[in-house]
Amino acid sequence: MTAEWLHLPPPYPPGVGPLCGAELEAWYEDLQDILGSDTGGAKLARAPTCTEHTSSSLSAAKKSRKEREQDNERKVQELTEQNEHLKSEIDRLGEEVQRTRRALIERLVNTRK
């Protein structure tokens, strides 16, 4: 019995191969962060190594992760500022609506006199 006879799918989707080096290390770090609370804080086993695994690729992965975190923090800050601006704009428009409403009521009352 051969694998061709079983018609087994390839282990990876088309165009995607095994992760090595920096990508693999970053993936395992993300996985550890996600699963950290489920395992009671215990770290997962170290990622398997590849022949392409170098210290420069590890530092690039950590830098990339740090840059992503900084980008996310910057986006949160921008969205918070935008949210505050929109809240103040809503308040301003609400006050304008109330002033206009009062002016219209006063105008209607005065025209009937």
CB 19, CB 27: distance < 8 Å: yes
- For residue 7, being part of any structural domain is answered with no
How confident is the chain (113 residues) per 10-residue block, as mean pLDDT?
A: 55 62 77 70 54 62 85 95 96 96 93 77
Q: Which amino acid is at 26?
A: A
pLDDT, position 21:
74
- For residue 86, being part of any structural domain is answered with yes
Question: DSSP states of 11-55 as a string?
Answer: SS-TT-----HHHHHHHHHHHHHHHTTTTTTPPPPPPPP-TT--H
- For residue 24, being part of any structural domain is answered with yes
- For residue 6, being part of any structural domain is answered with no
- For residue 5, being part of any structural domain is answered with no
pLDDT, position 14:
60
pLDDT, position 42:
54
Q: For residue 94, give its domain range.
A: 16-112
- For residue 71, being part of any structural domain is answered with yes
What is the CB neighbour count within 10 angstroms for residue 19? 16
Q: Using the 8-state DSSP alphabet, how is residue 76 labeled?
A: H
Q: How many structural domains does the chain have?
A: 1
Q: Which amino acid is at 81?
A: E
